[in-house]
C-alpha cells in the first residue's frame, strides 16, 4: 500500500514479477471485486509468502447458473 492509502495495481504486480501478463486480465477481475492491499515490503518476486498474498481468480464467486448442473440435490 502506498502512503496515500492506495493499494498496488495489477500492472505493478506484473512489473514487479508477482504475476505475468497472461494472468493480469483475471487479476483485473479480482481487483474489481476485492481491494489489493499488499505493502511494498511484502511484494517480493519469487518469495513464497508474497506469492500467497497475490489474489487469484479462483477467489471470485461462481455464479449459480454455472454450478446449477453440477450439484444434484
> Confidence class of residue 73 from pLDDT cuts 50, 70 and 90?
low
**CB within 8 Å of 40: residues ≥ 6 apart:** 1, 2, 8
pTM of the full structure: 0.66
| CB 27, CB 55: distance < 8 Å | yes
Q: Residue 65: pLDDT band by 50, 70, 90 thresholds? A: confident
For residue range 15-57, list pLDDT tens digits in order: 988 888 888 888 888 888 888 888 888 888 888 888 888 888 8
- Selection from 48, 1, 55 nearest residue 26 by Cα: 55
Which DSSP letter does residue 5 get?
Answer: S
Query: What does the angle CA 57 – CA 62 – CA 68 come to, to the nearest 5 degrees?
Result: 150
User: pLDDT at residue 3 above 70?
Assistant: no
Amino acid at each position: 500500500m502506498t502512503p496515500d492509502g492506495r493499494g498496488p495495481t495489477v500492472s505493478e504486480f506484473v512489473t514487479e514479477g508477482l504475476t505475468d501478463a497472461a494472468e493480469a486480465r483475471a487479476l483485473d477481475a479480482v481487483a474489481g471485486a476485492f481491494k489489493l492491499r499488499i505493502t511494498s515490503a511484502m511484494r517480493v518476486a519469487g518469495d513464497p509468502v508474497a506469492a500467497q498474498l497475490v489474489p487469484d481468480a479462483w477467489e471470485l464467486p461462481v455464479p449459480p447458473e454455472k454450478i446449477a448442473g453440477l450439484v444434484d440435490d
